[in-house]
Structure 1
Amino acid sequence: MDRIEEGMSAEPATAPAVVADAEAGESVSLMEQLLSDPSHDYRVLNYGDVIEGQIMHVDRDELLVDIGSKSEGIIPAREFSTLTDEERAALSVGDHVLVFVVQAENQEGQAVLSIDRARQEKSWRRLQEIYEAGEIIEAEVTNYNKGGLLVNLDGVRGFVPASQVTEIRGGDDSSKQADMARLIGSKLSLKIIEINRHRNRLILSERQAIQERRDVMKERLIEELTEGETRRGRVTSITDFGAFVDIGGADGLVHLSELSWSRVKHPSEVLKVGEEVDVYVLGINAEEKKIALSIKRTQPEPWSRVAMKYEVGQLVLGTVTQLANFGAFARIEDGIEGLIHVSELSEQRIGHPRQVVSEGQDLILRIIRIDPARRRMGLSLRRALEATDDEVAASLGPEAVELKHELMAREIEIEAEADESESEPEGEQATEPADAVAMSAESTEETPRAEDGEEESGS
């Protein structure tokens, strides 16, 4: 009996321990299953993570997003403020959005997320790639400050210094401010010249972007161009030695001597910036990336038509272009100039052409020689003044008769001066050496010759 009681009493003593062990084993097994189950593989969040989540609830003040964490993440309204009204209205449950982890867990155990910072972070990474690749991007001007323009690049604010914008002129601050205000809302091609994510610094340049783009276009254009072809272009700048013309993304130089068949002292006489012109491709230097152009060669060579258009004895109108000791040059049309020898300026003996004519003066002239092969033409003023009024009117028009009378009046003055000079006593001439000095000074080339002669006789 005692044995039976002992045996009966022994079973209850060990049963609870066995049950407890079994339950503990089951708990451990369930925990292992939960940990090993991929459906419960919760994401470990860290500040700065950029991850994709699914919208679970949309509210005016916040969004709830499933990001695979143990609880849903929350996006406060301040963290999606960069969304437009249209973008906000389009948000709906089930949509996938890119978010930035602002706080891994708040007091309620939720992750605090941001759409704005996610977009910005994504933009920074993209901008870094663009900077390293040296690519050109486009951005809209949103505002400006004293130093330059502000642009928006998908949530990242960039700065374009005023010196790096082609359409901002120099001058006082007011003109710069007006130029910058005018550019708000416009899009610019830009190149990143400095990027620093940690300092939130992004500096861009329009000038570099344009220059690099033009360099690429110039290389392509140089490969396509052939000498002797004619292209349409636009004058981009004017210098003392010529003009630069854009012929499709690249500038070529039209030298001063290639602007016109006529004598041109400065390109501004015949061209202005922005004007469209036809140009002839003179030469291409692929190594130095230079293009030589000509405007005058797109037009007929004037001397090729001289023999058909002019003849000896013909009366013409001319404009004095240059004076020399031996005579004056006169232009009778673009590209055609003739020489009025000093002996053909007046019936009187003169020391220098400036005694009779001046640069820019209009004259009636008679052609006395034509040599198309050597591109030379001889002209005479004194022989033209011998023509009758009827001949002048028939050849040059009635208005030329008045010009003839003006020139004849000047000839009469020269004759009177010559007569007065000849009537002066020799003694008076000798006592006025200053007159002789003045006469010799009128010719810049005759005076040195006289000095040379004196040195030779002295030696």
Structure 2
Amino acid sequence: MESSVIGVSPEMDFRALLEESFSSMEQPERGDLLMGTILAIDEQGIIVDVKMKRDAVVPRADLERLEGVTFTVGQEVPIVVVNPEDQDGNLVVSIAQARQSEDWLRAEELMQSGEVVEAVVADANRGGIIVPFGNLRGFIPASHVADLPRGLSEDERKDFMMNLVGKKIYIKVIEVNRKRRRLVLSQRDAQRGQRDQNKESLLGNLQEGEVRRGVVSGLRDFGAFVDLGGADGLIHISELAWHRVKHPRELLTVGQELDVYILRLDQDSKRIGLSLKRLQPNPWSLVDEMYHVGQLVEGTISRVAQFGAFISLEPGIEALLHTNQMGDPPPDDPTQVLREGDKLLMRIISIESHRQRLGLSLKDVTDEERARWTEEHGTILAVIPQGTGKNAAAAVDYSEDQSVETAG
């Protein structure tokens, strides 16, 4: 049978068929992930066999991005196609991007699982902190930096985050976007998750009624948070002291070490209730020894209401001066004639220590008794003048001279 191609040798037929077979192979496209074997390593980069018509080239610049990584001839490596054909006809690939591709997959897995991992802070700016994630660089926005104080200026915020550089922190992956090359992390969420785990473990080891050592980690209007070793408990403001406390900062400072009483444990809500005052003697147990009906006492107004004023007495007792016991006739509105911090001389008219109640009277104190007390103790006492309501408020005098003069 005659050849269909006249004047062409069998050797040329084979070569043409071979070239055609190569050209018919699927050509790599930008972004394709391939496996290859290293054929050679020189100053220009690495030559990789990818089982195609052409060998792939890994430029030296790509290798410089892989600090501390060494390669050997014959080693299999993952590569990503960067340029299917450059101006010299080379198939340009990247080992660094292939490794990043593995890191992207790892980041996606972590985001799905919610797992917390450890990382080291590499850099910081006003917007947040930068953390290496394999061959990628993750970003933690300032809003997701744990324990970043509020109200800082931009420079103060940057200084706070710069102090984290080089330190190990826990992170959680919250956003992965390969196309935009966005890897967003959160230290705040990681810390919250870590603390939840710690709290669950701590709850299993704590017992109500025991005393533990802790560190004040935060102060709020409603109480103080105390770190018991990786998890926080709360001392409600009513459990700070036996006397009235307006704000925890009156007694505590952040970073202060102290012993706390384990008041209650709530396994369902994972809450730990603490107390400071339970470690101190209940002052009401001393009332019967220290006070008696008819006794004159000096006290400080801690709160004023329509029905009366609460009076702070030693040692941490809060007694009641009812409106009816303020004067004869009583004032229409005690808030108009008394104020917090005023010192008054009063007479004890009732004691019910078992109910933690102690009643006081201002109208049962004579001018002579008030003048004598001022002379002996040097206290400037507030005086409710004759009359009631708002008109009487203007006549209140807090001077020592007025107290003595009234007595005369």
Please state which band the TM-score falls in when normalised by the shorter chain: 0.5 to 0.7
Q: Is the Cα–Cα contact under 8 Å of residues 263 and 274 in structure 2 kept in the other structure?
A: yes
**In the aligned structure 1, how far is the partner of 2:79 from the partner of 2:323?**
91
For 1:331, give the aligned amino acid.
L
Among 376, 385, 392, the residue aligned to 1:404? 376
After alignment, is 228-237 or 122-131 more displaced? 228-237
Larger radius of gyration: 1
Q: CA deviation at 1:350?
A: 10
Among 197, 211, 215, the residue aligned to 2:196? 215
User: CA separation of 1:263/1:144 partners in 2, compared to 1, >3 Å: closer, same or farther?
Assistant: closer
Q: CA deviation at 1:119?
A: 1.4
Query: Which residue of 2 is the match for residue 258 of structure 1?
Result: 239
The yes-or-no answer on 1:441 pairing with 2:402 is no
The yes-or-no answer on 1:102 pairing with 2:74 is no
Query: Which residue of 2 is the match for residue 76 of structure 1?
Result: 59
Among 160, 181, 185, the residue aligned to 1:179? 160
Which TM-score applies when normalising by structure 2? 0.67
User: CA separation of 1:55/1:264 partners in 2, compared to 1, >3 Å: closer, same or farther?
Assistant: same
Query: Which residue of 2 is the match for residue 157 of structure 1?
Result: 137
For 2:311, give the aligned amino acid.
F
**In the aligned structure 2, how far is the partner of 1:328 from the partner of 1:116?**
72
Which TM-score applies when normalising by structure 1? 0.61
Among 168, 174, 177, the residue aligned to 1:196? 177
Number of aligned residues: 368
Q: Deviations over 1:20-48 (max 9, x none)?
A: xxxx8xx99xx9xxx9xxxxxx9986654
Q: Is the Cα–Cα contact under 8 Å of residues 330 and 340 in structure 1 kept in the other structure?
A: no
Q: Is the Cα–Cα contact under 8 Å of residues 139 and 187 in structure 1 kept in the other structure?
A: yes
The yes-or-no answer on 1:123 pairing with 2:103 is yes
Q: Deviations over 1:373-409 (max 9, x none)?
A: 44466899979x99xx9xxxxxxxxxxx9982524xx
Among 17, 40, 50, the residue aligned to 1:57? 40
For 1:329, give the aligned amino acid.
I
Q: 3-state SS of the aligned residue for 2:314?
A: strand
Q: Deviations over 1:423-457 (max 9, x none)?
A: xxxxxxxxxxxx746797359xxxxxxxxxxxxxx
User: CA separation of 1:92/1:319 partners in 2, compared to 1, >3 Å: closer, same or farther?
Assistant: farther
User: CA separation of 1:168/1:49 partners in 2, compared to 1, >3 Å: closer, same or farther?
Assistant: farther
For 1:206, give the aligned amino acid.
Q
The yes-or-no answer on 1:329 pairing with 2:311 is yes
**In the aligned structure 2, how far is the partner of 1:306 from the partner of 1:436?**
34
Q: CA deviation at 1:124?
A: 0.9
**In the aligned structure 1, how far is the partner of 2:100 from the partner of 2:138?**
12
Root-mean-square deviation (CA, aligned residues, Å) is 5.1
Identity percentage of aligned residues? 39
The yes-or-no answer on 1:133 pairing with 2:133 is no
Q: 3-state SS of the aligned residue for 1:100?
A: strand
For 1:298, give the aligned amino acid.
L
Query: Which residue of 2 is the match for residue 272 of structure 1?
Result: 253
Among 293, 303, 327, the residue aligned to 2:274? 293
User: CA separation of 1:440/1:147 partners in 2, compared to 1, >3 Å: closer, same or farther?
Assistant: closer
Q: Is the Cα–Cα contact under 8 Å of residues 38 and 72 in structure 2 kept in the other structure?
A: yes
Q: Is the Cα–Cα contact under 8 Å of residues 364 and 403 in structure 1 kept in the other structure?
A: no
Query: Which residue of 2 is the match for residue 15 of structure 1?
Result: none
Q: CA deviation at 1:277?
A: 3.0
User: CA separation of 1:59/1:271 partners in 2, compared to 1, >3 Å: closer, same or farther?
Assistant: same
Q: Deviations over 1:87-138 (max 9, x none)?
A: 3xx4444555443333556687764332211111111111111122222233
User: CA separation of 1:127/1:436 partners in 2, compared to 1, >3 Å: closer, same or farther?
Assistant: closer
**In the aligned structure 2, how far is the partner of 1:261 from the partner of 1:226?**
23
Q: Is the Cα–Cα contact under 8 Å of residues 297 and 348 in structure 2 kept in the other structure?
A: no
Please identify which structure carries the higher helix content: 1
Q: Is the Cα–Cα contact under 8 Å of residues 329 and 388 in structure 2 kept in the other structure?
A: no
**In the aligned structure 2, how far is the partner of 1:285 from the partner of 1:81?**
55
**In the aligned structure 1, how far is the partner of 2:225 from the partner of 2:31?**
52
The yes-or-no answer on 1:235 pairing with 2:207 is no
**In the aligned structure 2, how far is the partner of 1:377 from the partner of 1:196?**
67
**In the aligned structure 2, how far is the partner of 1:312 from the partner of 1:357?**
25
**In the aligned structure 2, how far is the partner of 1:120 from the partner of 1:273?**
42
**In the aligned structure 1, how far is the partner of 2:63 from the partner of 2:309?**
84
For 2:65, give the aligned amino acid.
T
Q: CA deviation at 1:162?
A: 1.9
Q: Is the Cα–Cα contact under 8 Å of residues 75 and 114 in structure 1 kept in the other structure?
A: yes
For 2:101, give the aligned amino acid.
E
Query: Which residue of 2 is the match for residue 446 of structure 1?
Result: none
Q: 3-state SS of the aligned residue for 2:106?
A: helix
Q: 3-state SS of the aligned residue for 2:378?
A: helix
**In the aligned structure 2, how far is the partner of 1:357 from the partner of 1:144?**
54
User: CA separation of 1:351/1:442 partners in 2, compared to 1, >3 Å: closer, same or farther?
Assistant: farther
Q: Deviations over 1:201-251 (max 9, x none)?
A: 222222222222223333343444433233333333333332333334443
For 2:134, give the aligned amino acid.
D
Q: Is the Cα–Cα contact under 8 Å of residues 150 and 160 in structure 1 kept in the other structure?
A: yes
User: Which runs of 5 or more structure 1 residues have no equivalent in the other structure?
Assistant: 1-23, 36-41, 390-400, 419-434, 444-459
Q: Is the Cα–Cα contact under 8 Å of residues 224 and 237 in structure 2 kept in the other structure?
A: yes
Q: 3-state SS of the aligned residue for 2:213?
A: strand
Q: CA deviation at 1:329?
A: 3.1
User: CA separation of 1:316/1:442 partners in 2, compared to 1, >3 Å: closer, same or farther?
Assistant: closer
Q: CA deviation at 1:76?
A: 1.1
User: CA separation of 1:56/1:272 partners in 2, compared to 1, >3 Å: closer, same or farther?
Assistant: same
Q: Is the Cα–Cα contact under 8 Å of residues 97 and 115 in structure 1 kept in the other structure?
A: yes
Q: Is the Cα–Cα contact under 8 Å of residues 332 and 338 in structure 1 kept in the other structure?
A: no
Q: Is the Cα–Cα contact under 8 Å of residues 169 and 175 in structure 1 kept in the other structure?
A: no
For 2:251, give the aligned amino acid.
V
Q: CA deviation at 1:264?
A: 1.7
**In the aligned structure 1, how far is the partner of 2:263 from the partner of 2:291?**
33
